[in-house]
Amino acid sequence: MDIATILGLFLGIGCIIYGIFDGGQLSSFVHAGSIAVTVGGGLACTIMSFPLSDTIKAFKAIPLAFKPPRFDPFQTIQLLVELSQKARREGLLALESAQDDIKDDYLKKALELVVDGIEAEMVKTSMQFEIDSMVVRHSTVQAYFKTLAAQFPAWGMIGTLMGLVNLLKNMDDPSNIGPAMSLAIITTFYGSVLANYICNPIATKLQGSSAEEIRMREMIMEGILSIQSGENPRLMEHKLKTFLSPGQKLQYESMVIKERERGAERELGSAQE
């Protein structure tokens, strides 16, 4: 689970509960009709705006907002460097045996193209097409939640107007004005909470995950093209590190140094035996 999402979720719930009970009561914020108008109306308009398949995809994507990033740039760079070293020692055809150990389908398909002897320009075009297709899929899901974020406050306002109409019809009884007004504006509260606490954060989280995946795939594409051209593995590693942030570069260098030290210790232990 992603710690930031869980932390933000519980912090937001705490703030809302504190605001409700600070001089108020929970029953004042619960009204079935207002929930039906706000949630039902917002969902209905959004479902109308997209194909049904996009609605299914969007709801399936919600758990992704609670998962940590599944991409490890450090391991990916090391894997590409190892593949490059193997290709320089044994040739590109030797990479065929390494495909079974690779879990990333994008990388595996790219290696298949290289092993099959496809020209570099075609390999690059094919990999870029996959990235572009992924961007379109991800953008659709993000747009779905952004549309929900726009629709919920709008339907909250519609619910408020409906409540005001009922309020004005019963102006002859002043004792009902306060409760009726409270009920009229509760839909606006629901719409604002759903948009700013649920939908917008999910859209932003998915957008960040998508950007990270795009960056990783572009890094893989650069590494594959370097391997195919026979580029020096160290030069390729330096090039791939440009995809990392300054903090990630320091972390990667520290990890590489530790691995070299462990490798030297193992070699020393083997020599002593």
| pLDDT tens figures, 226-248 | 998 888 888 988 889 888 888 88
Query: What's the one-letter identity of residue 228?
Result: Q
Q: What is the pTM of this model?
A: 0.82
Residue 221 lies in a domain: no
Dihedral in degrees, nearest 10, Cα atoms 84, 79, 113, 220: -100
pLDDT of amino acid 143: 95
* Contact between residue 38 and residue 191 where contact means Cβ atoms under 8 Å apart: yes
Find the helix packing angle between 246-272 and 73-90, rounded to 10°: 50
| Confidence (pLDDT) at 250 | 87
Answer yes or no: is 166 within a domain. yes
pLDDT, tens digit, 9 for 90 and up, residues 148-177:
999 999 999 998 888 888 777 777 777 667
Task: Taking residues 166-195, report their average pLDDT.
Answer: 79
With a CB cutoff of 8 Å and minimum separation 6, the contacts of 148 are 42, 43, 46, 194, 195, 199
Please report whether residue 182 resides in a domain. yes
Q: Are 224 and 107 in contact (CB under 8 A)?
A: yes
Determine, yes or no, domain membership for 24: yes
A 10 A CB-CB count for 123 gives: 21
In a domain, 222, yes or no: no
Q: How far apart are CA 165 and CA 16, in angstroms?
A: 28
Residue-level pLDDT at 47: 95
Q: Is residue 229 part of a domain?
A: no
Residue 53 lies in a domain: yes
Domain count, the chain: 1
pLDDT at residue 42 is higher than 80: yes
96 found inside a domain: no
Domain extent for 167 = 3-69+150-203
CB under 8 A, 24+ apart: contacts of 125-132: 127/217, 127/220, 127/221, 127/224, 128/221, 130/106, 130/217, 131/214, 131/217, 131/218, 131/221
Which SS3 state, helix, strand or coil, does residue 31 take? coil
Q: What letter does residue 69 receive in the DSSP assignment? A: P
